[in-house]
Amino acid sequence: MTKSGPREIVTPFRSIPLEVPEGMKHNEFFNSTENLNDLVHNNGLLVNPENLLLYRKALGHSTAFDCSIIYNTSQVVLNPLGRPVRRTQVPDNVKHVWNRMNQIIIDYMLEQYPDPDEALILAGEASLDATWPLTSPGVPSIRMLHNHFIVFPKAELRNAKLADANNPNLTDGGQHSLFQAYMRDVYRDFFDKALDLKILKPASEDDARIGLTGYPQGLPSWEIQGGAAALRDVQFWKEYDEVLKGFIDFYRTFFSQVSSRNAPMLPDIYYPKEVESVLLFNNDFLKTAKKVRDHCIVDAKYANAIRWQPAFKQLIYRNDAGKLIVTISQNSIGNAITELLGVVVNRTPDAEAYSKLEPKLIERLLEVRRRLVEADLGEGIGTEYWPKE
């Protein structure tokens, strides 16, 4: 029997021929319009009038299937700190198109990899609400909302070495997360009371966990009743947003109390009644805020690492029984969305190894693009690696 535990895989990539202007840090350049132009021309697959760009991940997580959609506002919002960085900040007409794109891509992954024993499938996004200076290590490289669509063959995961369980990036809510360590009961109680869900139903930890990796650990999770067909129902996407809104309320309320003792309720809360009754009158919640506040006052390094704005990872993935699960986690410095499911990706420059896997990967990405174009969700982009149509 294969031992359960987080896995570390090696994924080859072709080095990106980018010249970063002298005097600029890499992550400063990555936030620039110039870099986004490079992403379009070298890795862009499809673009639409809503500024949603489908692209191949040049520094990929997987060589089986790996792409992203970014809400590319770099040409229309030049201030990197002023760009939308989560779905709640996206105009409704853009979100409508985004959700349809998500549904079609997830449907394709499930069609291509129908057996849950064969492949780990995930789709989701990580918040980019970093609040450190742009030059700090760990600040997201592209400060715009983007999500990921990834398939990991389970044979590859089974053969991979076990990752170090103490890897700081495996902070998915088990022993590391502040929410789970001190406020687990109030966290779940808040979700239960605030969210009015019809399609999503709470999932047990056992149901949510991937047996091979043992992750996620200790996170609130929901089963998508109706499976893939439910993703064609706009109600599902509304509920997916409700989960995010609940998370944002919890996060912002908690860190407002960390910042200022006995702070009043924030003015733009989604669920004010539940924030008042479940959070602001809960002793565990407020004791934990005091613990963090007291630590911030005496430890400059700790205080500097706090993400004061909502930092999250939210994803849809397939469990071992073939059910689709939604989960959400507090984000931490540097960890990737894959690590929520216990997959640590060691990306290694190896053009030769990548070139052997590239044709099949591109074939799958172009088929996804064809389906999106057919559904009137954008037009193809030509690069040196593939034609426009």
Is the preceding peptide bond at 264 cis, omega within 30 degrees of 0?
A: no
Question: Phi and psi at residue 311, in whole multiples of 5°?
Answer: -120, 120
Q: For residue 356, is pLDDT > 70?
A: yes
Q: What is the pLDDT, as a whole number, of residue 335?
A: 66
Count the domains in the chain. 1
Question: Is 1 domain-assigned?
Answer: no
pLDDT in tens, 312-333: 889 999 999 999 999 998 876 5
Domain that residue 326 falls in: 7-380
Q: For residue 231, is pLDDT > 70?
A: yes
Strands 343-349 and 7-13 turn out to be parallel
From residue 67, how far is each of 63, 122, 175, 272, 313 by CA, in Å?
Answer: 10, 11, 31, 37, 17
Question: Is 2 domain-assigned?
Answer: no
Question: Is 342 domain-assigned?
Answer: yes
Question: Is 128 domain-assigned?
Answer: yes
pLDDT in tens, 256-266: 999 999 999 99
Burial of 112 (0-12, 13-18, 19+ CB in 10 A): middle
pLDDT: which is higher, 96 or 217: 96
Question: Is 102 domain-assigned?
Answer: yes
Residue ranges with strand state E in 74-184:
119-126, 146-153, 161-162
Q: For residue 166, is pLDDT > 90?
A: no
| Mean pLDDT to the nearest integer, 136-141 | 57
Question: Is 73 domain-assigned?
Answer: yes
Q: What is the pLDDT, as a whole number, of residue 175?
A: 43
Q: What is the pLDDT, as a whole number, of residue 141?
A: 59
